[in-house]
Structure 1
Amino acid sequence: MKNENPGVQFVAITAENAGQRIDNFLRTFLKGVPKSMIYRILRKGEVRVNKKRIKPEYKLEEGDDIRIPPVRVSGQEAPEVSPKLDKVAQLERAVIYEDEAILVLNKPSGTAVHGGSGLNFGVIEGLRALRPDARFLELVHRLDRDTSGVLLIAKKRSALRSLHEQLREKGMQKDYLALVRGQWPSHTKSVKAPLLKNILQSGERVVRVSSEGKPSETRFKVEERYQHGSLVKASPITGRTHQIRVHTLHAGHPIAFDDRYGDSEFDRQLAKTGLNRLFLHAAAITFTHPSTGETLRLEAPMDEKLRRCLAILRQDKP
């Protein structure tokens, strides 16, 4: 069997990216890589979809399996990430479960899942430095850079396929905790609002509710109430970009310290808690183990900053 180059990445396309042209997808995925290089690797057949060569105008379909070759910018080797770096050591401490098929992290807030956009460090780069002998390490799903909590990584291609199928078939449950503005109504148990993603010239992604968007649903449950806000459990049924952040905003209850969809007055009300990061935490994930078939529920504790914020808010309960 031919050994795959360790720099090669495999990406399974979810509903979120279906319908997008492969060249546009690669320009977003390989941020910082010149357009000319993207078209060169497409032309030379180094990018494969379902093991076949494709043209730049090929439109992605849900379930497509993309092979992306290692790409060097300006003839330079990508900088190696030393396992001694603080961030990499932090990732090692963040591992909450690992076996031969999967690895689960409690991702720290402020760490991107992938390098790019001017960042030379992400979860995947860090894990590859920590596990240099691992032949396969790929994200099963993503978390926004400022969102903390459970992040699932596949260590085998077969595990990645199985877990992506569970995502597509809605067989995986993800539960988040979010601190939102105001008193979330107990009767609002679900927000269904179609979401449309726009990519700005800067490469920044901005999502809004639009009838032209993709169907999206998040279920909500109030966990605690405070004088100025509510702690809610948010369980996304679909997996759109920024879904929970935009759905809470749409419901009139934006998340604390959301720099894109938040409310500065609400953030000021929380000043005494010392909070200065997005209060969105992936608290738990439930799925079927791809090798054993058993149901796993893994939980990630909140970091000290979030716990301290809630402890202070509990003193002022309405």
Structure 2
Amino acid sequence: MQNGCFGVHFVHVDENHAGQRIDNFLLGRLKGVPKSRVYRILRKGEVRVNGSRAKAEYRLQVGDAVRIPPIRVAEREVSAGPSPKLQQLLEQNIVYEDAGFLVINKPAGLAVHGGSGVSQGLIESLRATRPSAPFLELVHRLDRETSGCLMIAKKRSMLRHLQEEMRASRVVKVYQALCCGRWPKGMKRISAPLRKNELKSGERIVKVDPDGKVSVTHFQVLHRYHAATLLEVALETGRTHQIRVHCQFAGCPLAGDEKYGVDDCNRQMRQKGLRRMFLHAAQLQVHLPGDQVVEIRSPLPDDLASFLTTLE
């Protein structure tokens, strides 16, 4: 790493940063600066908004002039960026786009963001593919092995709107999932609170726990196979690993799920050709500002569709 230094500079806030806390705004701009240093320059009044001191919790408004003082940063090594093949794949997999957001059919195996040994995820790769885009942020997340509909906001105002819609349970999310065994007849709804736990190894795991957060999932059987059941799954809440843990709770974990699944079932499914967890985000329905309703569908990808034919 090499050290660099920013001189005093001013940033004028546009709509993409309106409503953002100034501490988060600075952390995003001053990559390589320790968080403690960012909060120190705020406390000391070195950061000014329209000529006045600003507290960390101040929310920016359109037209604000933010003065950022000289600050030394550690320049991180620049990653190679996404390959031309990945850039082309991402653009080809955009299934809906307007001025405010886009929906991409996320390929299985691609993490939504970098971290935990992943240098570049989908969002970093998409930003590199569209360098002139002023704002691209994940609205929600999908597990690395899950394919299907993923929303990306192109404006901060749309990010706030879509996340508020999700908090109010007004976004319809429908998945297709293959579970091991025979799904219990009549089981169409599971309401079981979920709680995140961290193991000594540092791995995070989610469990059904009376002290967890309210979690509700709706299920409909699409097809019964000899040793598996194809389900349509709709989320009423959106907890981490919710579908995977609720299926495990029902005694029918997802096929190919290495964390919550059953080894014998996973081994049998691998022998039949399943190469990953069978979970696909098949449908989204969202209400946009102005009461426009958008419905996006993503068909089952070829690898999962062809695998089902082996179960017939």
The answer to whether the Cα contact below 8 Å between 1:273 and 1:308 also exists between their aligned partners in 2 is no
> What CA distance in whole angstroms lies between the structure 2 residues aligned with 1:285 and 1:185?
26
Equivalent residue, structure 2, for 1:38: 35
> What CA distance in whole angstroms lies between the structure 2 residues aligned with 1:200 and 1:120?
24
Equivalent residue, structure 1, for 2:275: 276
1:121-200 → structure 2 map (5 Å cutoff)? 121-200=120-199
1:284-303 → structure 2 map (5 Å cutoff)? 284-290=283-289, 292-303=290-301
TM-score, normalising length from structure 1? Answer: 0.77
Equivalent residue, structure 2, for 1:116: 115
> What CA distance in whole angstroms lies between the structure 1 residues aligned with 2:135 and 2:125?
14
> What CA distance in whole angstroms lies between the structure 2 residues aligned with 1:11 and 1:281?
32
Look up the SS of the partner of 2:79 in the other structure.
Answer: coil
Equivalent residue, structure 1, for 2:81: 81
**Shift in Å, 1:11:** 8.4
Q: Which has the larger radius of gyration?
A: 2
Query: Deviation above 4 Å: which 4+ runs of structure 1?
Result: 200-203
- The residue type equivalent to 1:181 in the other structure is C
> What CA distance in whole angstroms lies between the structure 2 residues aligned with 1:73 and 1:230?
54
Look up the SS of the partner of 1:218 in the other structure.
Answer: strand
> What CA distance in whole angstroms lies between the structure 2 residues aligned with 1:198 and 1:268?
27
> What CA distance in whole angstroms lies between the structure 2 residues aligned with 1:281 and 1:140?
17
> What CA distance in whole angstroms lies between the structure 1 residues aligned with 2:124 and 2:20?
15
User: How far does the alpha carbon of each residue in 1:233-288 deviate from its partner, in whole angstroms, 9 at most, with x for none?
Assistant: 11111111111100100110100111100111111222343111010110001111
Structure 1 gap ranges (5+): 13-21, 24-29, 55-71
Distance 1:266 1:102, change over 3 A: same
Distance 1:222 1:130, change over 3 A: same
1:225 aligned to 2:217?
Answer: no
**Shift in Å, 1:306:** 0.4
Tell me how many residue pairs correspond in the alignment. 275
Distance 1:45 1:211, change over 3 A: farther
Equivalent residue, structure 1, for 2:90: 91
Q: CA RMSD in A?
A: 3.3
- The residue type equivalent to 1:76 in the other structure is R
Q: 1:304 is matched with which residue: 289, 294, 302?
A: 302
1:256 aligned to 2:255?
Answer: yes
> What CA distance in whole angstroms lies between the structure 2 residues aligned with 1:274 and 1:11?
47
The answer to whether the Cα contact below 8 Å between 1:228 and 1:269 also exists between their aligned partners in 2 is no
Look up the SS of the partner of 1:208 in the other structure.
Answer: strand
Equivalent residue, structure 2, for 1:213: 212
**How high is the sequence identity, in percent, across the aligned residues?**
44
**Shift in Å, 1:299:** 0.7
